[in-house]
Amino acid sequence: MLKENSRVLIEPWHATPEQRKAILATKATSEWLCRLPSDILRQYRDQWIAARDCQIVASGATMEELAFNLADTDMETIVVACLRPPFQVIYK
């Protein structure tokens, strides 16, 4: 609990070159996830999904199940989303 006179200090984030590269590599997929058609949203409703190159590559009912299904996958360009209302996109 914050004291009434406490101030939260927020510092600017400076992405490393590797982080910038990962963000750019996943940008199209992240935008694609935000515009998923309703039939795909219904198919994966209440699921965690992993996408790469504008395609869903794995899903699971829990984050642990998704991680298990992604065990042999290179995670560098994976975008994870939870398709539970309200829909959330979680960037790697």
Q: What is the pLDDT of residue 52?
A: 92
Q: What is the pLDDT of residue 51?
A: 94
**pTM tops 0.75, yes or no:** no
Q: What is the pLDDT of residue 9?
A: 77
Cβ neighbors of 76 (< 8 A, separation 6 or more) are 22, 25
Inform me whether the pLDDT recorded for 1 exceeds 60.
no
68, 14 in Cβ contact below 8 A? Answer: no
58, 69 in Cβ contact below 8 A? Answer: yes
CA-CA-CA-CA torsion for 63, 64, 66, 72, nearest 10 degrees? 140
User: What are the tens digits of pLDDT across the range 20-67?
Assistant: 888 888 899 989 998 888 888 889 999 999 999 999 999 999 999 999
Reported as a pLDDT band with limits 50, 70 and 90, residue 8 is: confident
- Of 51 and 86, more confident: 51
Distance between CA atoms of residues 2 and 26, nearest Å: 36
